[in-house]
Amino acid sequence: MASVEVIEDVSAAQALAPAWDELAVACSLPLCSPGWMLAWWKHLAPSGGQLRIIAVRDGSQLVALAPWFVQSGESGRTDMRFLGAEMSDRVDVLCRPGSEPAAARALRETLAAIEPRPDLVAFEAVPVSSAWTRRLAGGVSGRLRFARYRNSAYPAPAVDLPSGTPEEWLAGRSSNFRGQMGRLRRRLEKQGGTVRQIRDASEVPGALTTLLALHASRWEGRAESGLVKPGVSELLGEAATALGPDRLRLWAAEIDGELISVQLFLAAGTEVKYWNGGWSEDHADVKPSMLTILAALEEAISRGEKRLDLGVGTHAYKLRFANSEDTLTWGGVIVRNRRWPRTRAEMAPRVLRYRAKLLARSLPAPVISRVEAIVKGRRGRE
């Protein structure tokens, strides 16, 4: 018989951290580790948010964990969300293989009794393969029922890492890719540069400061970056201390001691997650971000890790490395309670837009072209 604990304060969550982290490693979900999620909670939790981590045990063993918090908005709706919301992707309920049916029952029953009662359980930036919305919607005795929804999906390029050596992996890439990487490495070396992992704890704060500064400089005048908000620096510093250099990896390119690119990766189990980074446009000729990603990738192969997740978005530099894709989805389940009609109405516009996009992609190319022409014509008359 599964037992359930609802964790509502940070001290209790910290006490659970060793077993929680073991589960994150077993599930190969780096951004679900407590070292990352609890640092986010301490420094970036939304105003009024309340911790509601649900831990499921079989005897003394932790078999599942839902790293959630609740948040109420101005409309009066209460959402259950993953820790790290809007700062993390590829998150999910953690569960040991074979324990899913019992864990799903325990989560449904707990959601029926938890306070405050959620109106919606959001699954934001979860792998498309996740079955947890379906498991939760499987029903529970009593009044609580769930309706599934999905409002967006985005491609997430990845690199499936082979067994063997980094040299063997590189030999299997196109001659164009090998030639480019070789030229960039030689160009960096001629300028007195190198690429390395920053492992010394005394160097980490400065490297993180440089990462954020380079990132902000790249986005200045283009769009607002989510990394410039208060608390991000503290999140990264605390997570780096909690996880250490084997789990939170900072790779940097430097010339004559000056950091020109800093990229941040997190690892758990067989997965390495590229999170974000920054690089100097003054040294665009050596493409320092690509060289640092390449170094991190080669080191992951040497460790025997199986995949480098490059994160959501089909940016050109990601596609230069990627050899696979793993879609991320945004959606969740809506609770069929008294607020159900209003919650469903609030989510409907986003769901309908998503369905319209799916329908448009399924149309024959000539039809798509005609629709695009009509839309452009209407925009021109506005």
Could you tell me the two tokens for 238? 């605390």
Residue 316 lies in a domain: no
Specify the CATH number for the domain of residue 9.
3.40.630.30
Could you tell me the two tokens for 112? 């029926």
**Band of residue 266 on the pLDDT scale cut at 50, 70, 90:** very high
- Find the domain containing 249 and state its range: 158-309
Flag whether pLDDT at 298 surpasses 70. yes
Work out the end-to-end distance of the chain between its first and last CA atoms, rounded to an integer number of angstroms.
63
pLDDT score at 2: 82
- Model pLDDT for residues 99-125, shown as the tens digit of each residue: 999 999 999 999 989 999 999 999 999
Say if residue 299 is in the same domain as residue 353: no
DSSP lists the bridge partners of residue 250 as: 198, 264
Q: In this predicted structure, which of 66-70, 90-94, 352-356 has the lowest mean pLDDT?
A: 352-356
Q: Which of 243, 278, 309 is the last residue of a domain?
A: 309
Say if residue 148 is in the same domain as residue 163: no
Residue 318 lies in a domain: no
- Model pLDDT for residues 218-252, shown as the tens digit of each residue: 877 666 677 888 999 999 999 999 999 999 999 99
Pairwise CA distance, residues 253 & 353, whole Å: 42
Flag whether pLDDT at 76 surpasses 60. yes
Interior angle at CA 269, CA 318 and CA 83, nearest 5: 75
Say if residue 6 is in the same domain as residue 125: yes
Q: Are 30 and 37 in contact (CB under 8 A)?
A: no
Residue 369 lies in a domain: no
Say if residue 213 is in the same domain as residue 147: no
Say if residue 305 is in the same domain as residue 196: yes
Say if residue 183 is in the same domain as residue 151: no
Residue 366 lies in a domain: no
Cβ neighbours of residue 81 closer than 8 Å, sequence gap 6 or more: 68, 69, 70, 71, 122, 124
Residue 315 lies in a domain: no
pLDDT score at 378: 47
Say if residue 335 is in the same domain as residue 299: no
Residue 74 lies in a domain: yes
Say if residue 11 is in the same domain as residue 99: yes
Q: In this predicted structure, which of 54-63, 72-81, 193-202 has the lowest mean pLDDT?
A: 72-81
- Model pLDDT for residues 309-345, shown as the tens digit of each residue: 999 988 888 999 999 999 999 999 999 889 999 999 9
Flag whether pLDDT at 281 surpasses 60. yes
DSSP lists the bridge partners of residue 332 as: 122, 149
Say if residue 164 is in the same domain as residue 305: yes
Residue 382 lies in a domain: no
Say if residue 130 is in the same domain as residue 24: yes
Kindly report the average pLDDT of the chain as a whole number: 90
Pairwise CA distance, residues 297 & 159, whole Å: 8
Q: List C-alpha distances in Å: 244 to 28, 204, 237, 248, 267.
A: 17, 10, 10, 6, 11
Residue type, 310: L
Pairwise CA distance, residues 24 & 4, whole Å: 18
Residue 320 lies in a domain: no
Interior angle at CA 134, CA 363 and CA 355, nearest 5: 20
- Model pLDDT for residues 3-56, shown as the tens digit of each residue: 999 999 999 999 999 999 999 999 999 999 999 999 999 999 999 999 999 999
Say if residue 215 is in the same domain as residue 304: yes
**Band of residue 140 on the pLDDT scale cut at 50, 70, 90:** low
Sheet holding 307-309, edge to edge: 193-198, 248-255, 258-268, 271-279, 307-309, 157-160, 324-325
Q: Are 50 and 41 in contact (CB under 8 A)?
A: no
Print burial letters for 203-240: b (CB count within 10 Å at least 16), e (below 16).
ebeebbebbbebbeebeeeeeebebeeeebbebbbbbb
pLDDT score at 74: 80
Say if residue 352 is in the same domain as residue 296: no
Domain count for the chain: 2
Residue type, 15: A
